[in-house]
Chain A
Amino acid sequence: MGELSWIFVSALLVNNFTLSYFLGLCPFFGVSGRLVTAFRLGLANIFVMVITSLCASFLNAFVLPYAPYLRLISFIVVIASTVQFVEMVIKKVSPGLFRALGIFLPLITTNCAILALALFQTSRGYGLLQGLVFALGAGGGLTLALVLMAGLREEAELSDIPSVIRGTAMNLIIAGILSLAFMGFAGLFSGNA
């Protein structure tokens, strides 16, 4: 139990995928202009991460012990096709959910955070349950970072900022300060261990 909660909090806050590992930066800077969009993108991300984690656990258990060198290729191919398949199923079964998540799914599949989730899960030797908890934590962390960033950017839109710094430079500096704030979460677990 203690181990699972450590995995979750570590992925959510202490080692936040976006603010500490720089993963998923494309949507972070590209889509995080509006709060609602950012939130939906985050949810879609959690969804894809859970599927990814399941795929990676399956591959790790049944395929990769026999062919470790195929790890990277099999992760990419299997994850991309599974997500596409699930997307089709959702479209048929629940059009409402599809409208909310749908447009983001293909975008997310080629996101480095997804592949990194599978790779980290493998290199840390997580099993099925640990992997799922890790995926939930990492997806939650990504959502948190996206939503925070979107909120800050909506504010910055209205502020008086010199034109030369507007755009990517400003977003990066905002992200830097956000990342600095998240460093405060370090030591959350070992402090009272």
Chain B
Amino acid sequence: MSGDLVQLEGRKGASAGVPDNTARLVLTLTVAGLLSGIAIVSAYEITRPMIAANQARALERAVFEVVPGAERLQRLAWRDGALVPAVGDAAGEPSIYGGYAADGSFAGYAIPGEGAGYQDTIKLLYGFDAERRRVVGMYILESRETPGLGDRIYKDLDFVAAFRDLVVEPEIELVSGGGAADNQVDGITGATISSKAVVSIINATNSLWRERLFAPGAEPPPPAEPATEEKP
């Protein structure tokens, strides 16, 4: 205790003459908190448009990758038994994305799904052609699969290409040694579990959305409304 006191008194500068009473402690922390708040809010305000633009671009890239021909996208939220165009972040609301060609015609759905992979949760996006009832593309959004083995679910172009035209009914099947039927995907040697995870995520997500996409009122797909989707 006395050591502390000596040290305290030994310190040079403005604090030497001022007693360390409670008011001063509170004042110091308040000022520090206030300045920190100002700094953080200004950094947030400066970076917010850039971050939003980055996120929008990343989402666009993924959607355009899985829906061939799409050049514009629109979030479609599932509200009260129907798909409705929505703006802003999904924020917990079950949503998918509609991809539209440059002339505004509907190109296909992009549906996000997630599930347990080999190491951690895998998040992906797949394109779905509702008319032909086929998966038309697959894009891994997030995964921590083993480098060199499990990460081939997005680095192995043959595996990714297998999802460009795939029948989903009754279910996508994972086979080894060249699938013949048009609902079969050839698994990756050395990454069986990761490739199985991708297939079962798509199957599970698809069984959830299948009825919704074909439910009365959900068709024809809502047209693109670029005005609501314009981002600054």
The reply to whether B40 and A190 form a contact with Cβ atoms under 8 Å apart is no
Within 8 A of A (CB), among B150-195: 193-194
Q: Which of B54-62, B96-104, B117-125 contacts A (4 or more CB under 8 A)?
A: B117-125
The reply to whether B40 and A186 form a contact with Cβ atoms under 8 Å apart is no
B199 → chain A closest CB, angstroms? 10
A186-B118 contact given A191-B193, A193-B197, A193-B200, CB 8 Å threshold: yes
The reply to whether B193 and A187 form a contact with Cβ atoms under 8 Å apart is yes
On chain A, the residues within 8 Å of B37 by CB distance are 70
The reply to whether A69 and B41 form a contact with Cβ atoms under 8 Å apart is yes
On chain B, the residues within 8 Å of A69 by CB distance are 40-41, 43-44
The closest CB in chain A to the CB of B204 belongs to A193
Q: Which of the listed residues B92, B116, B117, B196 has the most CB atoms from chain A within 10 Å of its own CB?
A: B116
On chain B, the residues within 8 Å of A73 by CB distance are 36, 40
| Complexed CA–CA distance, A6 and B117 (Å) | 11
B196 → chain A closest CB, angstroms? 7
| Complexed CA–CA distance, A69 and B197 (Å) | 35
The reply to whether B116 and A189 form a contact with Cβ atoms under 8 Å apart is yes
The reply to whether B36 and A190 form a contact with Cβ atoms under 8 Å apart is no
The reply to whether A190 and B120 form a contact with Cβ atoms under 8 Å apart is no
Mark B30-56 against chain A: 1 for CB-CB distance below 8 A, else 0. Answer: 000000110011011000000000000
The closest CB in chain A to the CB of B37 belongs to A70
B144 → chain A closest CB, angstroms? 8
Asked whether any CB of chain B lies closer than 8 Å to the CB of A176, the reply is no
Asked whether any CB of chain B lies closer than 8 Å to the CB of A95, the reply is no
The closest CB in chain B to the CB of A191 belongs to B193
On chain B, the residues within 8 Å of A14 by CB distance are 119-120
Identify which of A70, A124, A125, A193 contacts B116 (C-beta below 8 A).
A193
B90 → chain A closest CB, angstroms? 11
The closest CB in chain A to the CB of B43 belongs to A69
A190-B41 contact given A73-B36, A125-B92, CB 8 Å threshold: no
Asked whether any CB of chain B lies closer than 8 Å to the CB of A32, the reply is no
- A residues at B contact (CB < 8 Å): 6, 10, 14-15, 69-70, 73, 124-125, 186-187, 189-191, 193
* 5 chain-A/chain-B pairs, Cβ below 8 angstroms: A15-B119, A69-B41, A70-B37, A190-B196, A193-B200
